[in-house]
Amino acid sequence: MRVDIGDIDMGLNIKNEQVHALVREAAERTGMSQTSVVEEAVKRMLKELDAEQKAAQQSRKERMYEILADIDAIMTPEMRASLTTDDLYDDQGMPA
């Protein structure tokens, strides 16, 4: 199998008998070539990793909104009135 990484073209040489056996079994059971089995497995893995990353990002986003809601709940009208963008920056426009 050949792998193209940008301008580098290199062969993939897997020296693990268990991996060979698994690929052969998957190829036999699906009727796919061994190369296609490996390609499909890698595509599925990358898709799963993308889904996990998106789920983690969504979880962080939801947690951030929970924290903001908690802050919002404890803010009094006086606290809100005292906050201005002038409080956030110094005379030179840098964060205070």
Phi, then psi, of 8 in degrees rounded to 5: -100, 125
- What pLDDT sits at residue 49? 98
Cα-only R_g, the chain: 27
Q: How far apart are the first and last CA of the chain?
A: 57
Q: Is the pLDDT of residue 4 over 60?
A: no
Angstrom distance (rounded) from CA 72 to CA 66:
10
- What pLDDT sits at residue 11? 80
Where do the domains of the chain lie?
2-84
Q: Could you tell me the pTM of the whole model? A: 0.63
Question: Which token pair is 47?
Answer: 């898709």
- What pLDDT sits at residue 96? 79
Angstrom distance (rounded) from CA 20 to CA 13:
11
